[in-house]
Amino acid sequence: MGGRWYKRITMKTSREVYNTWAAHYDQNLATGSVPVSFDGYKDVLTETVLLANVQPGMSVLDLGTGTGNLAALFETLGCDLWGTDFSVNMLAIAHEKLPFLHPVLADLHDPAWPQTLDRRFDRIVSAYVWHEFDLDEKLGLLTNLIDRHLASQGRVVIADISYPDRTSRSLAHADWGRLWSETEYYWAADETIAACHSIGLGCSYRQVSSCAGIFVFEAEEHK
């Protein structure tokens, strides 16, 4: 009970932070006034699109779309774009930048998604969002996405703060010092891949920057 209460309070605070940050988010990225975890941000987004391997007309769901920076790259490829975010201000900016985006106010922490998302997508993508979940929560969300929202032969591509293995993550923790958030769950690819394989979920990983990489997930029968 206490843990769930804490998470509700934390997410309410986080939503307020992102609603406030929305007006300055893109400017902060342009000037480099962002946390160290955003190292290589543009390269990470570009590589995410490459690994998604989309074709014109494919439907793409961007989870935690923010101000639409990742979604914008898919727009140039002629995709049918859908974007969710729990920040109404972030979502409004994304829609202003991308008029053809289907914006949906939704929270990944809330299992009751709007009915408009009760469909399947060719690709499900996300960037710099999933470190809010521990490994068990990540696996639960991935399983649900693939079972209920991913089209046949589709894939889920997630870019986030991550390291190739637990040793690298521990070394980064020591190096970052106070900059390391003790309330977030940064990925280690070795433990993630092992956990995915144990539940029949295909997973590959590519390190892109000093502290971020990209996972590609597929149901084993789709591989």
CATH number at residue 110: 3.40.50.150
**Interval 169-210: pLDDT, tens:** 999 999 999 889 899 999 999 999 999 999 999 999 999 999
Tell me, what's the pLDDT at 5?
32
Tell me, what's the pLDDT at 22?
67
Q: How many CB atoms are located within 10 Å of the residue 83 CB?
A: 27
**Interval 113-136: pLDDT, tens:** 999 999 999 999 999 999 999 999
Query: Residue 105 is part of which domain span?
Result: 2-222
Read off the tokens for 204: 């590959």
Q: 75, 37, 15: which is closest to 179 by C-alpha?
A: 37
Enumerate the H helices of the chain as residue ranges.
Answer: 2-31, 41-52, 69-75, 88-97, 135-148, 166-176, 189-198
Confidence category of residue 221, pLDDT binned at 50, 70, 90:
low
Pairing of strands 80-85, 59-63: parallel
Identity of residue 101: L
Regarding pTM above 0.75, the answer is yes
CA distance 220 to 170: 30
Total tally of structural domains belonging to the chain: 1
